[in-house]
Amino acid sequence: MRSWFLGLFLLFPFTTTRAQLLHDVIHAEVELLSSATISTGKISTVSLISEDLATEFTGIALQGFSAGDSLSGSVRFFEQEDWGEWQSLYIVRSATDTAFLAAYRGEQVLEALRFELRFEVDSSDKLHLLSAGVFDHRLDDEYEVGQSFRDVGGKEDFVIRAPRIRRRTEWGAQPFRGTPIPLNRPSYDYMTLHHTAGFAATTLAEGLEQVRRIQAFHQNGRGWSDIGYQFLMDQEGRLYQGRPFLNESAPFDQGPRLVQGAHAGGANTGNIGISLMGCYHPPEGARCRNAMTLPAIDSLVVTFGFMSERYGLSPEDMRGHRDFGSTSCPGDNNYRMLSDFMSKVEDLLLTGNNLLGGGTISARLNQSGVVGLQWEFTADYGIDEFVVQRREKDEIPVEITKGEGAVDGNTIDVPSVGRHVYELVALNRSGQRQRLAIAEISVETEPTSVLAQSFPNPTSSETTIRYFLAGESGVVSIEVFDLAGRMVLAGENQHRESGEWYVTTLDASTLSGGVYLYRILVDGFAATVFRETKPLIVLR
C-alpha cells in the first residue's frame, strides 16, 4: 500500500543553538521549509526543500538522527529555472548513538536558488534533522601558502608532564591529503575548546572508532585534507591526536610543531582546536550531559597547561568556538567553565603535574546509610600528605580524613541523600595537589546514627572514637566496660546536636591488657535515642 503524509518524520525548527558539530564544517546555516514522506512497504522516502539561498557555495552538510538500519540520501539543486540531477550524499553514522552527518561537495561553484534532499529510511524510523548548511571550500584557510614561522624555544625545564595521547597510528587515521602547513604563522595564538554535539565516546574503543568516523566525514564529506581538530578528547578524558604533526616522528612530550586545522572558519591560523566527543548543551535534550566528568576536567586542564607551556600560550588565550562564530559550541555548560579552566591552568603552571603517586579508593553503602571507604596507595613518588574528601556537585569538598605520607587506610562517612564523589588526593611540600582516584556512590535513604570503630584498636594508650548523630539530639555519654559488665573508664558526657560527626578520645593507659567494650548512650528528651557497643583491645 502506498501512503502520502506530511511532517511525520521530521522535527522542527532548525535553530542556531543546535548541531554544533555541523557548525564546525559549514559557513552558513540553511532552514528547511517543507517536508513530505512517501511510504512503500518497508522503505519510506523523505523529501525536503530548503529556503531560498542568498550566497554562492560548493557543498552542503547536514546533521541529524536516524535509528533505523537503512539510511541513504541524495540532493539536487535548482539552477537556471530547472532542477539538476540527483547527487549522492556522503553519510557517516556515530558509533555509539543514532546521530549521523551527511554532505555533498563539488568543485563547481553553485548559485542555486534552493536545494532538495531525499532520504530513504526504514518505514518505522523517525528521521530527525538538527541542522543544515552550506559551505564554500574557497573560504577554507587550510590551503594557504605557508609563511615563515618561529619556534617557541628557550624553555627546557617543563613542569607540565605531557598527557597520554593516542596517536594517529593507534586509531587508524587515513593519510593527510595534500601538503600540511604549519599552524604557528608566526605564532600560536589561541587554544579553542569545541564539543562534537554528538558522536559521544566513554570507552577507549568508542573513542578510537568515533575519531575514525569524524575524520571520514571531514575528508570525504566536507572535502578537507584531514580531520579538522588538532586534538580530541572522550568523555573520560582520554586524549587523541587529530591532525598530524609536521614531523610525525617527533615525540609528543617535546611539543612537536602543529599543522593548521579547519575547526574555526576564518580563525584557524595559530589556533589549536580541542574537541570533546559528546554533547554538553542541555537544550538539545537527553543526549547532552550537564557537566564534564572529573577525569575529563583534570585531563583538559593538564592538556591546556601542556599546550600553554610547550607552545608559548597564556591561559588567557583559551577560547570557546562561539568566540569565533555563530554557534553554541562548546555548549553552555563548558563555556561557563572557561574562566575556571584558566585559573586551574595558571595554578598548574606554578605547581606542575609531575606524578606524585598512584592509588585506588572504594566506597560501599550499607543499609544504615553509612559509607565505608577504603583506599590504597599503589605508587609513591613524593607524597607528603593525603586527603580523603567528599564532593557534592560544584560545592567545596568536605574533608573526611587526612594523614601524612602514603598510608593505606579505611574510614566511614554518613552523607546526605544524593549522589556523592569521594576523592583520594595527594599533596607535596611544594603545594602540588593531585587527585589519585575517585569513587562515586548514590544515597537514597536518610542515614541513621553511627558509632565507628575506635582507632587505633588495639591500643596501649589513647584511642579516638568517631560517632554520628541522626534524628534527635541528646546527652551523649561514652563509657568503657570489662567483660564482666563493670564500668572501668568514663569518657565524654555532654549534650550534642544531631546531624553532625563528633570525635572524642579515650585514655586507656590505666587499663590492664585485655578485651573491653566501649558504649555510646544518647538520651533524648523523653527516652534513649541511640545505644551501641563495640570492642576495644588494650595491649600491655
- Considering only CA atoms, which of 540, 526, 467, 480 is closest in space to residue 507? 480
Q: Quick check: helix, strand or coil at residue 401?
A: strand
- For 2-139, the fitting CATH number among 1.25.40, 2.60.40, 3.40.1350, 3.30.2310 is 2.60.40
Q: Are strands 190-195 and 271-276 parallel, antiparallel or unpaired?
A: parallel
Q: How far is Cα 511 from Cα 108, in angstroms, rounded to an integer?
A: 95
pTM exceeds 0.85: no
- Considering only CA atoms, which of 393, 20, 435, 350 is closest in space to residue 192? 20
Q: What is the pLDDT of residue 17?
A: 37
- Considering only CA atoms, which of 378, 284, 281, 291 is closest in space to residue 330? 281
Q: What is the pLDDT of residue 195?
A: 93
Q: What is the pLDDT of residue 448?
A: 79
Q: What is the pLDDT of residue 339?
A: 93
Which residues have C-beta within 8 Å of that of residue 425, sequence separation ≥ 6? 386, 387, 388, 389, 433, 434, 435, 436
* In CATH, 357-443 is 2.60.40.10: yes
Q: What is the pLDDT of residue 447?
A: 72
Q: How far is Cα 201 from Cα 97, in angstroms, rounded to an integer?
A: 10
Categorise residue 302: left if φ over 0, alpha if ψ from -120 to 50, beta otherwise: alpha
Measured in degrees and rounded to the nearest 5, phi and psi for residue 83 equal: -80, 140
Sign of CA dihedral 154, 157, 163, 169: positive
DSSP lists the bridge partners of residue 388 as 401, 424
Q: What is the pLDDT of residue 21?
A: 67
Q: How far is Cα 284 from Cα 15, in angstroms, rounded to an integer?
A: 11
Q: What is the pLDDT of residue 405?
A: 93
CB-based contact 322:329 (threshold 8 Å): yes
Element (H, E) at 346: helix 338-351
Element (H, E) at 105: strand 99-110
Beta strands in 244-356 (DSSP E): 271-276, 318-320
Residue owning grid cell 601542556: 306
Tell me the residue length of the chain. Answer: 540
- Beta-carbon-side half-sphere exposure of residue 184 (alpha carbons within 13 Å): 19
Compute the CA torsion angle 162, 177, 172, 139 (nearest 10 deg): 70
Q: Burial, 124: exposed, middle or buried (Cβ in 10 Å; 0-12, 13-18, 19+)?
A: exposed
Q: What is the pLDDT of residue 3?
A: 34
Q: How far is Cα 378 from Cα 279, in angstroms, rounded to an integer?
A: 34
Q: What is the pLDDT of residue 146?
A: 35
Measured in degrees and rounded to the nearest 5, phi and psi for residue 332 equal: -55, -45
Residue owning grid cell 528547511: 32
Segments making up each domain of the chain, as ranges? 2-139, 165-351, 357-443, 450-538
Whether 165-351 shares its CATH topology with 450-538 is answered no
Cell of 344: 586551574
Q: What is the pLDDT of residue 291?
A: 82
Q: Are strands 239-241 and 165-166 parallel, antiparallel or unpaired?
A: parallel
DSSP lists the bridge partners of residue 528 as 523
- For 450-538, the fitting CATH number among 1.10.150.120, 2.60.40.2550, 3.40.50.300, 3.40.50.2300 is 2.60.40.2550
CB-based contact 478:492 (threshold 8 Å): yes
Q: How far is Cα 292 from Cα 235, in angstroms, rounded to an integer?
A: 7
CATH number for the domain whose boundaries are 165-351: 3.40.80.10
CB-based contact 494:511 (threshold 8 Å): no
pLDDT tens track, the chain, 540 positions? 333 333 334 443 333 334 566 778 888 889 888 777 887 778 888 899 998 888 889 999 999 888 888 899 999 999 878 899 999 999 999 999 888 999 999 888 888 889 999 999 988 888 888 889 999 888 887 654 333 333 443 344 567 888 889 999 999 999 999 999 999 988 999 999 999 988 999 899 999 999 999 999 999 999 999 999 999 999 989 999 999 999 999 999 889 999 999 999 889 999 999 999 988 887 766 678 878 888 888 889 989 999 999 999 999 999 999 999 888 899 888 999 999 999 989 888 877 777 788 888 999 988 767 889 999 998 787 899 999 999 876 678 889 999 999 999 998 888 877 888 999 999 988 778 888 888 989 887 777 788 888 888 899 999 988 888 887 889 999 999 999 999 999 988 999 988 888 888 999 999 999 999 999 999 988 788 899 999 999 998
Which residues have C-beta within 8 Å of that of residue 395, sequence separation ≥ 6? none
